[in-house]
Amino acid sequence: MSAIAEKGPGFGIDIAALRKQLASGHEMWRSLDEIAGTAEFRRFVEAEFPAIAERLPARPNRRTLLKLMGASLSLAGLAACSRAESIVPYVRQPEILIPGKPVYYATTLSSDGFGIGAIVESHEGRPIKIEGNPDHTASRGATDAVMQAAVLTLFDPDRSRTPLKDGQPASYGHFLKDMAGLFSRWTVSQGQGGALLLDASASPTLAAQLDALRARYPKLKIYRHDPLAIPAAAEASHALFGSALTPVYRFDRAETIVSLDADFLGEGPGRLAYAHDFAARRRVRSPNDRMSRLYAVESTPTITGAAADHRFAIKPSEVEAVAAGLNAALTGQAGRSASPIDQAWMTALADDLKAADRNALVVAGGHQSAFVQAAALSANAKLGALGNTVQLIEPPDALQVDGDLARLCGAIGDGAIDTVVVLGANPLHTAPTRLDAHKAFSSLKFMVHHGLYRDETAFLAHWHVPAAHELESWSDIRAYDGTASLVQPLIKPLYDGRTMHELLAVLGGQFEADPLAPVRQHWAALDDDAWKKALRDCIVPNSAAKPISVTVPPDLGGLRPAAKAADGIDIRFVADPWLRDGRFANASWLQELPRPLTKIVWGNAALISPATAERLKIENGKIINVALNGADIDAPAWIVPGHPDESVTLSFGFGRRAGSVAALAEGYDAFRLRSGAEWIATGATLTPRQNSVRVITTQHHQAMEGRAIIRHASLDAFRRNPDFVRKDVPPSPKETLYPDWPYDQEAWAMAIDLSACIGCMACVSACQAENNIAPVGPDECERGQEMHWLRVDRYYAGPVEAPDTFFQPVPCMHCEKAPCEVVCPVNATVHTHDGLNAQVYNRCIGTRYCSQNCPYKVRRFNFLDHQSFDKDDAGPEQGVHNPNVSVRSRGVMEKCTYCVQRISAKRIQAQIENRDIADGEVVTACQQACPTQAITFGDRNKKDARVVREKSAPQNYALLEELNTRPRTTYLGKISNPNGKLAKTGEATDG
């Protein structure tokens, strides 16, 4: 973390020495600094609360001390004063609403334009928590980290609150008057000179409304600007089959999977479903169980690569050669050796694929070229997998448009277009610099912007209209497999925002449009009962696209790999996993959520490989200049083990110029290097600059000093020795000074399957949303004082060029012999009858002894007042708070509670019904969000409980069990399934 960034020039890590050290290959490490044992790393880790000393004046004199004490005394007095409180009942109480009881509604959230089903918990009409919709194909009951933050953006105080005309507040009526003028002009001119600019959206109602507008104004142009679009799959299927088709994968059938630079677990609208199916095929509980095998060829480290059994890092421009090589190997033409991958490797891979036959699956990364897509389809066709593990469907987001942003800018430049209505898109942040969108848009005669924020584009617009948040809107949207689902509002628009459909209706002359009308009208075929049912489920039944059967022409439709790439550095653009193109940059939860592999927060960095860093003499945090075709940006470097050499990964989403939270983040704007919609660029140069900046990462925080934290084995090793987790582990003592607790009723426990965990961070985000965990900002994060109750540790094993990657979620272990309990001088951390290790905020006086004594480092201390208690002072963001969880103040310790509010709610329910709590009834927030069901929670005293079954698996182990803390949270050791013919150094083959 900062400890590295702050060091003076000339102090680097000796990567060559590290290589030698790691050659033996069995050591686990978290970062290069740790393995090198730099002095900064030691200093950082050894400080229990790093940099706390910076907070206090070096030598407080008597006067300062008295002042501080006096202040706290008088504040203590003030806190005791209570104020008269009023109760405000309803005037007309809705029938289904009982104050104090949450109501759950199904709706759909959009993710890069596609729908993912959600169930939203609403307290007295206030949506506070997003869960996945188990009936929705894209969710399967899970959510991702970004969906969790939807409630935060809903209550974001920075949201635009009123229409603006030339930057001045104006009424919506005034806007409608101006739109009436536009309407009559367009009616006369048939829309001549007018254009719509749309964001990515797979909404059927939108498509229908656009068709209606086109019919009304034949000369109106419609453009779509999706900076994260991946058009290559459609392009490839055009070349192969003559029509645009989208692949949908069936990982539940796939036995051997090859990813050609595809991050199917972390990217794309089907990722939650894919992760669910992928993990289900890899659940091993006894030596007889089978699991699928994943080979990943990738151009930047992703969570898919981390989950792979074999991972191969290559430059992004070389993936085409691998795709060609794979096809050649499948047809037996082993002669072509242009592939950057070892021939033996490729042969073994091809054999494995052939053995899996129609259960093989080759997945191409959407950002790769059309050739790679076609090659993957062709490989699947050769294996007979087409129609089985890969199905082709009509693209759910198909929309007839006149072009992209480049076309629109061209048309504005030509004078063909002088009026643009921008719906949701933010081209002034996301446009490639080459287009000079600023010049194009400022030359417009009339421009309307519709969006959640007054963003970069809104500043140029003549009219800005606040958009309704998706939790305030009526709409519909299709999922990755074409399933149409409805979007229904959870709350009336807070700031009089309008939906996209309302605005399109206004353009069509319906000035008094009801937000529901366009959607209901589109689904007029559903009668009232069917509509109500569809609303309740938020799914339109039988709307998934039907697979289309095709045959792949042998010549790949004329698609060829590009000529050998130019020398120099390859650039791989990626969307930030949480902020996407920057649209979520104002969500503090997402800014502060560590990125899965780098653990970077509040900023982005240019990721490079250790070898490239060594060649260019670059250290972490050093500014490097990335230049490409005349454009250049300065970005801090970050060395990532397993990154391909001579290549740099740049991420979108940062460098926003609007939004108060976004302004806190540090980072560069990668759009400035992009020349079009490409994801890969070649021929770039890297030049180190003199200075360094801080890159904030949480990877060293709460380190556990390199003990046997992660235990892993290959499937073969597991079959030989199912008890591999016990190997070479110090025996855990049985005797203890403290008497055992009786657990007469429940005994809550958790099991976390490290084989299933893909490191997606959804659990951390869900925990933050459920438990009112405060974001603390970049400076506090830098000091190691982030408040996440649950962290996901990332470990590496093996050589720096190609390490194995492991993820380990670490919540509170709820020890039966908890070291924290015995050291608290005020009994603020206590053991409950059902085995929870409870923290009593009102007793806590902040000695922090408990945290000092916790071997797992799961306790978090409030050094500052991160959230306001004063309801009048706290602003709209307090709306997101879960009313069943205390908001903590400064000076108290907090930690994971196993979601005690959920346990209590279920216990009260069961007690009222005079029955036991059923297995699976209490679901923790992290468990509920997890797409791979890696987390199991339940009552250990129930013999048939799922958690008991999980814990009886042979690979179940407790973290640091030699300390005799008897944790209630245990782990199932990671089992991978490498191909026995392909041993590689550092491979986890023998536990």
Residue whose C-alpha is closest to residue 667's, from 577, 601, 572, 598: 601
Q: How many CB atoms lie within 10 A of CB 355?
A: 11
Q: Min. distance of Cβ 183 from other proteins in angstroms?
A: 34
Cα 299 to Cα 135: distance, rounded to the nearest angstrom:
35
Q: Min. distance of Cβ 608 from other proteins in angstroms?
A: 46
H-type alpha helices, 469-522? 500-507, 517-522
- Strands (E) across 819-946 are located at 829-831, 837-839, 860-861, 893-894, 935-939
Report which residue type is found at 59: R
The C-alpha angle with vertex 386 and arms to 383 and 390, in degrees rounded to 5, equals 115
Q: Min. distance of Cβ 884 from other proteins in angstroms?
A: 7
User: Considering beta carbons, is residue 638 or 748 the nearer one to other proteins?
Assistant: 748
Using DSSP, state whether 865 is helix, strand or coil. Answer: coil
Q: Are 930 and 807 in contact (CB under 8 A)?
A: no
**Which two three-digit tokens encode residue 157?**
């105080």
User: Considering beta carbons, is residue 86 or 549 the nearer one to other proteins?
Assistant: 86
Q: Min. distance of Cβ 142 from other proteins in angstroms?
A: 25
Q: Are 874 and 867 in contact (CB under 8 A)?
A: yes
Cα 540 to Cα 830: distance, rounded to the nearest angstrom:
49
Q: Min. distance of Cβ 632 from other proteins in angstroms?
A: 52
Cα 638 to Cα 31, 32, 33, 374, 606, distances in angstroms: 11, 11, 12, 34, 6
User: Considering beta carbons, is residue 639 or 813 the nearer one to other proteins?
Assistant: 813
Q: Min. distance of Cβ 823 from other proteins in angstroms?
A: 17
Cα 695 to Cα 603: distance, rounded to the nearest angstrom:
7
Q: Are 319 and 299 in contact (CB under 8 A)?
A: yes
* Helices 172-189 & 500-507 angle (0-180, nearest 10): 50
User: Considering beta carbons, is residue 54 or 740 the nearer one to other proteins?
Assistant: 740
Q: How many CB atoms lie within 10 A of CB 20?
A: 9
User: Considering beta carbons, is residue 832 or 853 the nearer one to other proteins?
Assistant: 832
Q: How many CB atoms lie within 10 A of CB 678?
A: 13
Q: Min. distance of Cβ 922 from other proteins in angstroms?
A: 13
Cα 641 to Cα 222: distance, rounded to the nearest angstrom:
44
Q: Min. distance of Cβ 809 from other proteins in angstroms?
A: 22
User: Considering beta carbons, is residue 129 or 643 the nearer one to other proteins?
Assistant: 129
Query: Which residues, other chains included, contact 243 with Cβ-Cβ below 8 Å and sequence gap of 6+?
Result: 237
Cα 346 to Cα 268: distance, rounded to the nearest angstrom:
27
Q: Min. distance of Cβ 101 from other proteins in angstroms?
A: 5
**Which two three-digit tokens encode residue 773?**
């965990």
**Which two three-digit tokens encode residue 823?**
């050291």
Query: Which residues, other chains included, contact 389 with Cβ-Cβ below 8 Å and sequence gap of 6+?
Result: 249, 250, 251, 253, 254, 358, 359, 360, 361, 380
User: Considering beta carbons, is residue 74 or 909 the nearer one to other proteins?
Assistant: 909
Q: Min. distance of Cβ 818 from other proteins in angstroms?
A: 14
User: Considering beta carbons, is residue 100 or 739 the nearer one to other proteins?
Assistant: 100
**Is the torsion defined by CA of 701, 704, 705, 709 positive or negative?**
negative
User: Considering beta carbons, is residue 734 or 871 the nearer one to other proteins?
Assistant: 871
Q: Min. distance of Cβ 768 from other proteins in angstroms?
A: 16
User: Considering beta carbons, is residue 298 or 834 the nearer one to other proteins?
Assistant: 834
User: Considering beta carbons, is residue 521 or 901 the nearer one to other proteins?
Assistant: 901
Cα 960 to Cα 861: distance, rounded to the nearest angstrom:
23
Q: Min. distance of Cβ 126 from other proteins in angstroms?
A: 14
Report which residue type is found at 857: K
194-198 vs 419-423, strand pairing mode: parallel
Would you give the end-to-end CA distance of the chain in angstroms? 30
* Helices 343-356 & 370-383 angle (0-180, nearest 10): 50
Query: For the stretch 282-307, what's the b/e string if a residue is b when 16 or more beta carbons lie within 10 angstroms of its beta carbon?
Result: bbbbeeeeebbbbbbbbbbbbbbbbb
Q: Min. distance of Cβ 828 from other proteins in angstroms?
A: 9
User: Considering beta carbons, is residue 795 or 898 the nearer one to other proteins?
Assistant: 898
Binding residues for other proteins (CB under 8 A):
82, 84-93, 98-101, 745, 830, 832-834, 836, 838, 840-842, 869, 884-887, 897, 900-901, 904, 908, 911-912, 914
Q: Taking the CA of residue 781 as centre, how many other CA atoms within 13 Å lie in the half-sphere pointing to its CB? A: 27
User: Considering beta carbons, is residue 273 or 900 the nearer one to other proteins?
Assistant: 900
DSSP assignments along 239-306, one per residue: HHHSS--EEEE-TTT-SEEEEES--TTTSSTTHHHHHHHHHHTT---STT----EEEEEESS--HHHH
Q: Min. distance of Cβ 824 from other proteins in angstroms?
A: 12
User: Considering beta carbons, is residue 99 or 134 the nearer one to other proteins?
Assistant: 99
Let me know how long the chain is: 991
User: Considering beta carbons, is residue 162 or 832 the nearer one to other proteins?
Assistant: 832
Q: Min. distance of Cβ 62 from other proteins in angstroms?
A: 28
Q: Min. distance of Cβ 909 from other proteins in angstroms?
A: 9
User: Considering beta carbons, is residue 292 or 839 the nearer one to other proteins?
Assistant: 839
Q: Min. distance of Cβ 473 from other proteins in angstroms?
A: 24
User: Considering beta carbons, is residue 332 or 875 the nearer one to other proteins?
Assistant: 875
User: Considering beta carbons, is residue 674 or 902 the nearer one to other proteins?
Assistant: 902
Q: Min. distance of Cβ 123 from other proteins in angstroms?
A: 11
Cα 829 to Cα 544, 772, 840, 855, 859, distances in angstroms: 51, 19, 6, 15, 11
φ and ψ of 663, to 5 deg: -70, -25
